[in-house]
């Protein structure tokens, strides 16, 4: 097994460490040193909210399509429940106690070798598009990336074309246009499935009509305050969940547009595409667990190769 292949498998295995059931990447004869890699991490995307993991709601049409022709891992667990530590583990293959990012807002030390630095040393072009400042320059996540873009704000839809602009996926697709047949590693981090649970207007009623809606707890912090004050009821929680699920539908749509771009550039069948999350989301408000608290949650993981 080549060094690069070993490193890539190490990276894959650390993501899956707690729950791997099967991974047979060696079955392929494709040479790894010439294969481009795209890693997509959705923030706070819990596996059992995706249709391909059996969720009752149709939340993830495009991810399902990719999953149907991919390795779909059933038991993958985050190393921690915060973005910074979890992403640091994904990029370094180290536990938080080893890379030192044990909570958000701690810089990833230069001394740690990242996946992108390894790939760069093998001649890969490296680029990242993130829309979470905690994963930006301020905390040294740009190390090893030739291009590192931070996309601020939320996507905006062009009503004529139906396309979403200012999204990490749109930004990433524009980078692909600049690609000149070089092997590359591209990391996309998307927080459109993160609280607050406020999907664009047209998605808000997708799953909410079967819920007795009390909209006074729409905002994440209002939910926390109401939970602390023991004022939340099941309908409130159901409504928050319906909006989280609607966020997933929206993020999945953006993901689907990106997949179409990959097909347009004839890339989808010639790359390793990894789709996962930094951690899940608890939603057990009524049982004393809220948001990303006190549990390592199962996250989604799809590897298309
Ligand atoms: Zn996160």
Write down the domain spans for the chain. 3-19+37-304
Percent share of the chain, pLDDT over 70: 78
Q: Using pLDDT thresholds of 50, 70 and 90, give the confidence band for residue 268.
A: confident
- Beta-carbon neighbour count of residue 187 at 10 Å? 27
- Beta-carbon neighbour count of residue 91 at 10 Å? 26
Q: Give the global pTM.
A: 0.84
Whether the Cβ atoms of residue 90 and residue 11 lie closer than 8 Å to each other: yes
CA atoms within a 13 Å half-sphere pointing along the CA-CB vector of 272: 23
Query: Minimal CA–CA distance to 115: which of 134, 99, 137, 133?
Result: 99
Per-residue b/e over 141-170, b at no fewer than 16 CB within 10 Å? Answer: bbbbbeebbbbeeebebeeeeeebeebbbb
Distance 279 CA to ligand 1 centre (A): 6
Distance 45 CA to ligand 1 centre (A): 9
Distance 23 CA to ligand 1 centre (A): 25
**Phi-psi category of 185—alpha, beta or left, where left has phi over 0 and alpha has psi -120 to 50?**
beta
For residues 136 and 143, give the distance between their C-alpha atoms in angstroms, rounded to a whole number: 10
Distance 242 CA to ligand 1 centre (A): 19
Whole-angstrom Cα Rg for the chain: 19
CATH fold of 3-19+37-304 reads Alkaline Phosphatase, subunit A (3.40.720)
Q: Using pLDDT thresholds of 50, 70 and 90, give the confidence band for residue 292.
A: very low
pLDDT at 176: 85
Q: Using pLDDT thresholds of 50, 70 and 90, give the confidence band for residue 16.
A: very low
pLDDT at 165: 79
Instruction: For 173-213, write each residue's pLDDT tens digit.
Output: 988 877 766 899 999 999 999 888 888 888 988 998 766 55
Distance 92 CA to ligand 1 centre (A): 17
pLDDT at 14 over 70: no
DSSP lists the bridge partners of residue 303 as 71, 274
Q: Using pLDDT thresholds of 50, 70 and 90, give the confidence band for residue 294.
A: very low
Among the listed ranges 10-24, 136-150, 209-223, which one has the minimum average pLDDT value?
10-24
For residues 206 and 214, give the distance between their C-alpha atoms in angstroms, rounded to a whole number: 16
Distance 3 CA to ligand 1 centre (A): 30
Percent share of the chain, pLDDT over 90: 46
Distance 264 CA to ligand 1 centre (A): 30
Close Cβ partners of 3 (under 8 Å, ≥ 6 residues apart):
none
Distance 15 CA to ligand 1 centre (A): 14
| Token reading at 197 | 């649970």
Distance 298 CA to ligand 1 centre (A): 13
CA dihedral 213, 214, 215, 219 (to 10 degrees): -110
**Phi-psi category of 133—alpha, beta or left, where left has phi over 0 and alpha has psi -120 to 50?**
alpha
The single-letter DSSP state of residue 202 is G
Close Cβ partners of 232 (under 8 Å, ≥ 6 residues apart):
217, 223, 226, 285, 286
Distance 227 CA to ligand 1 centre (A): 21
């Amino acid at each position: 097994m080549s060094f690069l292949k070993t490193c890539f498998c190490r990276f894959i295995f650390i993501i899956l460490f707690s729950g791997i059931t099967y991974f047979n990447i060696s079955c392929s004869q494709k040479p790894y040193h010439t294969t481009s890699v795209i890693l997509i991490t959705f923030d706070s995307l819990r596996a059992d909210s995706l249709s391909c993991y059996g969720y009752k709601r149709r939340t993830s049409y495009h991810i399902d399509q990719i999953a149907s022709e991919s390795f779909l891992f059933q038991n993958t667990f985050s190393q921690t429940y915060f973005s910074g530590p979890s992403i640091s583990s994904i990029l370094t293959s180290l536990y938080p106690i080893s890379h030192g990012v044990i909570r958000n807002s701690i810089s990833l030390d230069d001394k740690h070798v990242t996946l992108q630095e390894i790939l760069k040393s093998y001649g890969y072009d490296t680029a990242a598009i993130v829309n979470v400042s905690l994963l930006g320059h301020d905390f040294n996540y740009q190390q090893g990336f030739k291009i590192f873009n931070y996309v601020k704000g939320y996507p905006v839809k062009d009503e004529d074309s139906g396309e979403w602009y200012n999204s990490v996926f749109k930004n990433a697709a524009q980078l692909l246009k600049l690609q000149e047949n070089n092997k590359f590693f591209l990391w996309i981090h998307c927080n459109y499935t993160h609280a607050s649970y406020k999907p664009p207007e047209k998605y808000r009623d997708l799953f909410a009509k079967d819920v007795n809606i009390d909209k006074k707890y729409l905002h994440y912090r209002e939910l926390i305050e109401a939970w602390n004050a023991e004022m939340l009821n099941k309908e409130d929680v159901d409504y928050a969940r319906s909006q989280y699920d609607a966020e997933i539908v929206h993020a999945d749509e953006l993901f689907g547009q990106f997949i179409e771009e990959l097909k347009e550039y004839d890339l989808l069948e010639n790359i390793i595409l990894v789709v996962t999350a930094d951690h899940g989301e608890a939603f057990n408000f009524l049982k004393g667990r809220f948001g990303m608290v006190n549990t390592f949650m199962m996250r989604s993981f799809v590897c298309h190769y």
